[in-house]
A and B are shown apart, each in its own frame.
Chain A
Amino acid sequence: MAEHQEPTYAEVNQDVLDTLLHTGRGYWILLGVSITVVLVCFVGPWIYQLNVGIGASGMNRNAVWGTYLSNFIFWIGLSHSGTLLSAILHITHSSWRNAIYRSAEAMTLFSLMTAACFVMVHLGRVWFIHWSAPIPNEMGLWPNFRSPLMFDVMAITTYLTASSIFIYMGSVPDYAAVRDASTGLRRRLYTIFSFGWRGTAKEWHTLAAAYLFFAVFVIPLAVSVHSIVSWDFALSIVPGFHHTIFAPYFVCGAIYSGTAGIVTVMYLLRRTMHLERYIREIHVDNLGKLLLALSLVWTYINALELFTGWYSGTSYEIEALKFKMFGFYAPLFWEMILFCAVVPMLIWFNRIRLNWTAMFCISILINIGMLTERFIIVATSQPIKFLPSAFGFYFPSMIEISITIGSFGIFTTLFLLFIKWTPCISIYEVKETLRPLTRGA
């Protein structure tokens, strides 16, 4: 793989700002397509569901949670690597983070927003969503903070707020660069966004301190968010849900799918925005090694989850396990194992790991596997509970499948808008990785 010559400081500004200030026809076509997907596949079916009721989905008396919640977990999971990885690598002074973290953090933010859409779709009567906030309402109800669903509200609100601030603060010096490179209305807007940043030593000093604290706050927060999402399941007594391993299982799965998501996004950015000089071999190599390690941990925890179910000797657990592994959804279960545990073993090979296209394909397969994993957790456990007479079945309706497709449109639309609003690569942090402007250099 050809390595590119190191750019100068001025070239970094030029290259990155070009992605922001110059827009080709391909961008507008892609944006148009993704907005159309949102309107046709997400908004339309949702309006239909609001009109006819939640019965438009495949959810029923035995399976009150369906694809909407499995998608919610998937998108929350996808959000995990961006901010978390960025924060960990920032604290450990890993300079390879600098070129990729901005887009990874944006991925976090937009995955969270997409996940929040699924909460609203799942609610059915979304106009009562304010009942989950601790404010007086017309029913005189107050939230029950003993419920894991309320933990979720608090955790996701906090994560969304913290992630937004984290990405915004890191972007302020770059907004100043956009301000100086633009004119007219754009210049006025970026003057506001950049808070009048001038790059004084005092501003850098304060940003460094604040950014470090953000990173310190975000790491335990990210771990808590997916642990709490797992408790939505694990704190119930449903066989297949009620496992103590669920919190680490979910956190590991979230980081795994998030890291795969970063590889996907980096590949697309590199190819479409010609950022080969910045998103380099070291990035795909390190992300590949991380994916490999995570796939091994994920496989171990997955095996442990099956083992504890079997070793419990409880007939309900064994029944749930049998249904998962050999029942109607068995093909999906084995597809998940293939994509998340077997395919990633190819990353052991240098030729695969250092090949962007191969890693892109593997990352897509991993996320298909992870989407399936979330679906299997929801669809195979809840309908098969304790009494055989109460056994049910869940299959997603066309409305749910369409809304699932539409959610990818929401994410893509938000990300496309982001890359024209914020430099997708951190200009000042990339400069920090270059040879310093000193006489010796």
Chain B
Amino acid sequence: MTKSVMGMFRYQEDSLAAAKKLKSSGFANPHMMSPIPVHDAYEALEYGVSAVRRFSLAGAIVGAISGFSLAVACALVFILPTGGRAIIAVPPFLIITYEMTILFGVLATLLGFHFVSGLPAWRDAPYRPEVIVDRFSVVVDYEEESQRADAERLLREAGAEDVHNMEIE
């Protein structure tokens, strides 16, 4: 069972300050939820550069190799001499390579998005629908009651309108 405290904030900077305070007070992995992207939160929560780019690069490289190989393989499996043109004709095959580079790059980026963000995540998790509309929230997990009290205090001090305790199996 995971026990969490969730603070609901009206203002963006309050939620950001709460997340920073919780992090500096020794709470591991506080996370924020918001109706819009809060770019300052990425730095505060130390996310760094997203690993999605590695997926994009890997996908693009695999796509380029696959595209050229596909064109060459088709030309060799079904040899079609046309007006003295080369069977393995590099210029037209580069176009196939180009398209496949993008296709695989896009698909790998999609895969990377799911892998890095942890979505789909249909399991129960701390959440309140207001964060999709106009509220910001900060959630932190705890194990002992004293940690809960500390977390609640820090969240209220930062300006939380409400603080909710949640227990999720």
Residues of chain A at the chain B interface (Cβ within 8 Å): 8-10, 13, 134, 140-147, 150-151, 154-155, 157-158, 161-162, 165, 169, 172-173, 176-177, 180, 191-192, 195-210, 213-214, 217-218, 220-221, 224, 228, 428, 431-432, 436-439
Tell me which residues across on chain A come within 8 A of B114, comparing CB atoms.
195
Considering only CB atoms, which chain A residue lies closest to B37 in the complex? A204
Considering only CB atoms, which chain B residue lies closest to A219 in the complex? B102
Tell me which residues across on chain B come within 8 A of A214, comparing CB atoms.
106, 109
A196 touches B103 (CB 8 A): no
Chain B binding site: helix, strand, loop or mixed by DSSP?
Answer: helix
Q: Does chain A have a CB within 8 A of B26?
A: no
- A176-B132, A213-B52 given; A196·B74 CB < 8 A: no
Considering only CB atoms, which chain B residue lies closest to A143 in the complex? B74
Per a CB cutoff under 8 Å, which of A134, A165, A431 touches B36? A431
B123 touches A198 (CB 8 A): no
Contacts A151-B99, A196-B122, A206-B113 known; list 18 others, CB within 8 Å: A142-B75, A144-B82, A147-B92, A154-B67, A158-B106, A165-B106, A195-B122, A196-B123, A196-B125, A204-B38, A209-B52, A210-B110, A213-B105, A218-B106, A428-B37, A437-B10, A437-B11, A439-B11
Per a CB cutoff under 8 Å, which of B35, B113, B121 touches A169? B113
* Shortest Cβ distance from residue A153 to the other chain B in the assembled complex, whole angstroms: 9
Considering only CB atoms, which chain B residue lies closest to A174 in the complex? B132
- A144-B74, A154-B99, A436-B12 given; A165·B117 CB < 8 A: no
What is the number of residues of chain B that contact chain A, defined by CB distance less than 8 Å? 66
Considering only CB atoms, which chain B residue lies closest to A228 in the complex? B95
CA distance A140 to B114 in the complex (A): 39
Q: Does chain A have a CB within 8 A of B93?
A: yes
CA distance A144 to B45 in the complex (A): 52
Considering only CB atoms, which chain A residue lies closest to B112 in the complex? A210
Tell me which residues across on chain B come within 8 A of A144, comparing CB atoms.
74-75, 78, 80, 82
Tell me which residues across on chain A come within 8 A of B100, comparing CB atoms.
154, 158
* Shortest Cβ distance from residue B63 to the other chain A in the assembled complex, whole angstroms: 9
Tell me which residues across on chain A come within 8 A of B45, comparing CB atoms.
201-202
B13 touches A438 (CB 8 A): yes
CA distance A147 to B120 in the complex (A): 41
CA distance A45 to B112 in the complex (A): 45
Within 8 A of A (CB), among B105-157: 105-107, 109-110, 112-114, 116-123, 125, 127, 129, 131-134, 136
